[in-house]
Structure 1
Amino acid sequence: MNEIVIERAADEDAAEILVLQRCCWVSEAISNNSMDIPPLHEDLPTVRAWVQESTVWTARRGGRLVGAVRGTADGTAWQIGRLMVAPDLAGNGLGRRLLQHVEQNAPEHTTSFELFTGSKSVRNIRLYTRAGYSQLPPDPSHIPGVVYLSKPNAINSERTAILTSVVNIRVAAQTDLPFLRKHDSHIAAEELASVIQRGRILVAEDSGKPIGWLRWGLFWDEIPFMNMLTVLSSNRGQGIGRALVTDWEKRMSRAGHSQVLTSTLADESAQNFYRAMGYSDAGVLLLPGESSEIFLRRDLEPAPDLTDPHITRE
C-alpha cells in the first residue's frame, strides 16, 4: 500500500467521493438490511458542503480515488466519519491507515475520538475495536440499529499532565465571589457564597487570574456530584477542564469517597468529554419539555494510605 498517497480533499474531489461513497455503502445496506442510510442518499451539493466544512482526506493510487475519511470537531471530541475504501482494496489495511491518519491530525484540544457504524457491520466494528474503540452504552439519543464507539486521545492526556504543572488549581475563596457571580448564572448569589464557604468550588488560575472553575455538592448527602464545570471561552481547548476534574477526583478520593457523579443534557457534547475521562452512563432523567439528562459516574482509585511506611512522603 506504499504507493497510496493521502492528502487533504479539495472541492473538486467531491464528485469522486460521492461515487466512491455510494459504492462502499451498498454493502453496508446489505449487511444491515436497510436502505435508510444517509451516505446512499446524499447528492453532490451535500457532499461538497461537508468537504468544505469538515476536514476530509483522500487516498489515491495512481490518480484513482481509493479511499477517504472525514473528521469534524465537536467540542473536545473529534467525530470521525465517512471512512471508505474501494471494495476491491478492502482488507488490505487502507481503512486502518486512514483511521490512524485522521486521529493523528485531530485538533490539539481533542480529548476523545468518536464514530458510529451499523450494528450489523461486523467488519467495521472489528476494525474499530482493534484500534482501541469501545462501544458506548445505549442511549435514548442514539439512532436505532447504530453502534456508537469512542476512545480517549492518549496524546491529549499527556498534554494535560504538562498543563497541570503550570496551571494552579485551588479551593475558591470569598475573594473569588465577584468573578464567580459574573460568570456562574446557574446559582443564586447567596447560595454561591455558601458553597464557597463550604469549600466546594475549585478555581483554575493562570498567573493569578481565574480562568475556570468546578462546583460540586453531595448527591443523597453522600456522593460527590459535579454540578458545574466551566472554562472561559478564551482558555478552552487547552486541557483545563480535564485538569480541574482530575484534581477534584483526587481530592474526593482523599476525602474517603469511592465514586463521583455528574450529569449533562443528552443533546450536549459534554457527555463525550466525561466518557473520555472514564465516566460511564448511570441513568437518564426525563423531564417534560426538556432534553434527557444523562447521569454519569466514575469509580475512584483509593487514596494512598499515608500511614504505610512503604509510601514516600513528599
Structure 2
Amino acid sequence: MSLGFSFRYVTDTRLENGKDNLDQYKVLILPRSCAVSDDLAKKINDFVRNGGTVIADIRAGIMDEHLNLRQPGAFDQAAGIRRKEVLPAVHQTLNPSLNASKQHFESGIEPAGGKAFRKTEQGIPAMIVNHYGKGMFVTLNFPFNELPAMATMPKELRRLLLDAFSKVPARTVFTTGDTGAPCYDLRRGEWKNGDMLILGVKSKPGEKKQLHAVLPAPMHVFSIDGEKSCGKVSSFDFQITPPKPEFFVLTAKPLPEITVNVPGTVERGSTLTVTYTVKGMKGERPLRLSYERDGKPLDLYTVREVSANDTVQQAHFRVALNEIPGKYTVTARDVYTGKTTVFPITIH
C-alpha cells in the first residue's frame, strides 16, 4: 500500500474452487505461504508461466496442505532457487552499517537459475528474482512483516520491488510538496462508484504535510472533504493532517448536474416533498438538503444527507402545524462539486 497500489485479498479456498481466477490479476503476493496444496501450487505456477508476477516471502510452498515437507518446494523451479536443506532461520540485518533492524533469513537457500540480490554479511541472499515462462517470480528470503519501510529500504531492493509491480496499471503517485521526493508513509484505498473512482489517502501519525498528487492521465478531480471541484488536471496539491484521511473523486468526464425540484408553496401541517435525480449517472452522488429560515436550518431534523442517482427520489420534511407563516428556503448542496442552489418557498 505504501507503493500507492490498492489490493484485493483472495483465499486459497476461493482459488481452488474457482470462485476467484488468477487470470484477472497482474501481481500475486504470497505472505507466509509455507503450506500450499498441489492443486493451488499448479495454478500459481501456471499464473507465472503465463505472464503473471508472484512476490513470495520466506519458505513459500515447502509443505503441502497436510504439512508434509516437500523436496523440492512447490515453487522452487518457478522461483529459480534450490534448498540444500531446511535450516533454522538466521537473524541478520540488510543494512549493518546503518544499525538497522534485523530480519530472519533462510540460510539453506541459493539461486538455481534465479539471480540473487542484496546479500547479508554472511552471504545469504535477501532477494532472488527469476524469469519463468512469460512471468517473474520474486522471492523475499525473509518474512513480509520484516520488510523495511520504503524510505529506509536499500535502493536496490526498492527498485526491484517497483519493477515487480511494473505490470500493474498506472496509479496516482504522491510526492512531498516541499522536496518532490516520493512519499512512502501513506496508506491509500480506491473504490469504484459507477463511473467514478473514490481515492482515499491517510498518512502515518505525525505533523501535517503538503502533498502533490500526479495522476496517470488528466482527470476531473473533486475534493470530498473540501466539497469543491479541482477541475480537469494532471496533478493537484493538498494538505493532509494525521490521523484524518482525505478523500477525492476522480472521473474521466465531467459530472452531470443533480436536478432538484422544490414546490414554491407549502401549507402548515403538511409535508414538504423535495425530488432529486441525476440523469445518466452511473453510481451514487451525495446531496445535502436543508430546510431553512433566515439562512439557518430549523433544527437537526431539517438537514438530510441523501444519495442521488439516475432514478427520481424524494426527501420529506414535516412542516409543523404551528410553523410561522412566511418565507423559507431549501438549500441543495452537491457534496462532490460544492455547487449550492437555494430554492425559495412560502409557508401558508
Larger strand proportion of the pair? 2
- Larger helix proportion, structure 1 or 2? 1
Larger Rg: 2
